[in-house]
Amino acid sequence: MLSFYKNLAKLTRNTSKLVGKKGTDLPGKVLRKLDKNILVKLAKQFDEIVFVTGTNGKTTTSNLIGHTLKKAGINFVNNFEGANMLDGIISTFAVQSNNNTKLAIIEIDEGSIKRVMEYITPTRFVINNFFRDQIDRFGEIDTLIATIGEQLEGKDVQLILNSDDPFVTRLAKYGKNNIYFGISKDAYKFSDYGISESKFCPNCGTELTYSYIHYSQLGYYKCSNCGFSRPNPDYTVTYAELKPFISLSINNEDSFSTRLAGDYNIYNILAAYTLLNILGIKKEKIKKGLGSYTSKNGRMQSIEITSKTTALLNLAKNPAGLNASLAIGKTIDTRINYLLILNDNGADGFDISWIWDTDFNILASQNINNIICSGKRAKELALRLKYSEVYANIVVLENIKEAVARLKKYSEKYSIVIPNYTALIETQKELEN
């Protein structure tokens, strides 16, 4: 019967693709209609199921892991296309697995953890960070973390946690044989993203004391009242630089260069490195895999849009993510352009007030010619820019196709393109045309 379900899933996916759809979720929807416990049955053959989550960077981290495993010749399944909710995860197991597949690397949407864990429990769980994101979907961070903790309680799950984020390490009590990763104080000076999440102790509510901050709430923290503090990481970035791509050293011994820009990706690379080491992949294979990865999914993706112009495309859907994307311009010496796209569709979250928590003054020191605002809420973006210290020609073109066409007329060598969630695919398509 399971073979029938897998064949049906593949047929459904192929049919969906023939009519121009991605086919990432539909197979899961169909199978779940036929058998509500299909995910339980599909997952039984796996010895190792790894979940990867976090507000920012889960797709990049998951894809870094998947790319490296593929280069190492490991048989596994991975929802590399980013279908990270229940139906997409069912589709991944049904379409990709065979009888010899024993390892699954599953990116999972934070808000879908409760629903997915009704059916399967991971053996390991990589958690990178938590920031405010789509408040009308997830609620505040405390609510989200409490819900995740409820799913982990009493389960035999090894947690791989970002030691620098107190929101993440508050989940440590639910894990078994936890492993931590972090960045040392003197390894790299992050850009000042200007956003500060809550910095209060999750145990007693006392304001945390920081001896060092990388950015936002990530850093070296301690509660003077109850002793809650940053755990010592097992895997530490001891040196990193961007020119504009990341080179780094881990635990003062493993040094390698990557093809990823954006300093926030230091954490994503470290999270992937940590998990791959835990899985027993040889270090040389890990460095070779992480060093050769290039994005094709709109996460710091480089696209040549004319013979002389390159667009750096990067998804951003919350203040921390957008601040990090805006800071990329600081690594470029020549004059640049920006295309910012903001939608408010259901998958984005209808509340766009988060753009007022974003520090657009990051752009003040950059050498910018033009900023195009696009998407359904382009006018709000333009208004927000007018309240910041940005001196550039601001253009409003709500239609994404028209906005990209205008961008392609500019002659600057680099343009930074930052769409939010539902704007990403259309923007990517227009840039590549």
With a cut of 80, say whether residue 196 has pLDDT above it: no
The residue from 87, 142, 351, 357 that is catalytic is: 351
Residue-averaged pLDDT of the chain: 92
Query: Is pLDDT at 375 greater than 50 in this prediction?
Result: yes
| Distance, CA of 293 to CA of 139 (rounded, Å) | 34
Q: What value, to the nearest 5°, has the Cα angle with vertex 151 and ends 27 and 274?
A: 80
Q: Tell me: pLDDT of 138 over 60.
A: no
Mean pLDDT, rounded, for 11-36: 88
Instruction: Provide the sign of the torsion angle of the four alpha carbons 253, 259, 265, 270, taken in this order.
Output: negative
Please check whether residue 31 is in contact with residue 5, taking contact to mean a CB–CB distance below 8 angstroms. yes
* Within this chain, domains 1-181+258-290 and 301-432 share the same CATH topology: no
- Name residue 257's beta-bridge partners: 247
262 pLDDT above the threshold of 60:
yes
What span, in angstroms and rounded, lies between the C-alpha atoms of 158 and 241? Answer: 31
Contact 420, 317 (CB under 8 A): yes
pLDDT for residue 103 is more than 80 = yes
Split at pLDDT 50, 70, 90, the class of 24 is: confident
Whether the CA torsion 142, 147, 153, 156 is positive or negative: it is negative
Q: Quick check: 232 pLDDT over 70?
A: yes
- 134 versus 71: the higher-pLDDT residue is 71
Q: Give the 3-state DSSP-derived string for 218-255, with helices as H, strands as E and coil as C.
A: EEEEECCCCCCECCCCCEEEEEEEECCEEEEEECCCEE
Decide: residue 234, CB within 10 A, 0-12 exposed, 13-18 middle, 19+ buried.
middle
As separate numbers, helices (DSSP H) first and strands (DSSP E) second, the chain gives 15, 17
Q: Which amino acid is at 205?
A: G
pLDDT at 183 over 60: yes
3-state secondary structure labels for all residues of 401-424: HHHHHHHHHCCCCEEEEEECHHHH
Classify domain 301-432 at the CATH superfamily level: Mur ligase, C-terminal domain (3.90.190.20)
DSSP assignment, residue 264?
T
pLDDT value of residue 192: 63
At residue 164 the predicted structure's pLDDT band, cuts being 50, 70 and 90, is very high
- Which are the contacts of 302, defined by CB distance < 8 A and separation ≥ 6? 294, 295, 310, 311, 312, 313
- At 404, list the tokens: 């990209």
Over residues 244-254, the pLDDT tens digits come to 789 999 999 99
Question: What is the pLDDT confidence band of residue 134, given thresholds at 50, 70 and 90?
Answer: very low
Show me where the domains of the chain are located: 1-181+258-290, 301-432
Cβ-Cβ contacts under 8 Å for 374 (sequence gap 6 or more): 339, 340, 341, 342, 396, 397, 398, 399, 400, 402, 403, 423
| Ligand-binding site membership of 204 (annotated) | yes
Following DSSP, what letter does each residue of 116-172 receive, concatenated? Answer: HTTT---SEEEE-------HHHH-SHHHHHHHHHHHHTT---EEEEETT-HHHHTTG
Taking CA atoms, 294 is separated from 91, 106, 279, 297, in Å, by: 25, 19, 22, 9
Which pLDDT score is estimated for 202?
83
Q: What is the pLDDT of residue 137?
A: 43
Q: What is this structure's pTM?
A: 0.81
Residue 233 pLDDT > 50: yes
The rounded percent of the chain whose pLDDT value lies above 90 is 75
Query: What's the pLDDT score for residue 136?
Result: 40
The reply to whether 373 sits in an annotated binding site is no
- Percent of residues, the chain, with pLDDT higher than 70: 97
What's at 126, amino acid-wise? V
108 with 116: CB under 8 angstroms?
yes
CATH of 1-181+258-290, one of 3.40.50.150, 3.40.50.1950, 3.40.1190.10, 1.10.760.10: 3.40.1190.10
Report whether 201 belongs to an annotated binding site. yes
226 marked as part of a ligand binding site: yes
Distance CA 189, CA 211 (A): 14
| Mean pLDDT score, 100-116 | 96
Give the separation between CA 267 and CA 10, rounded to whole angstroms.
35
Q: Is 133 a known active-site residue?
A: no
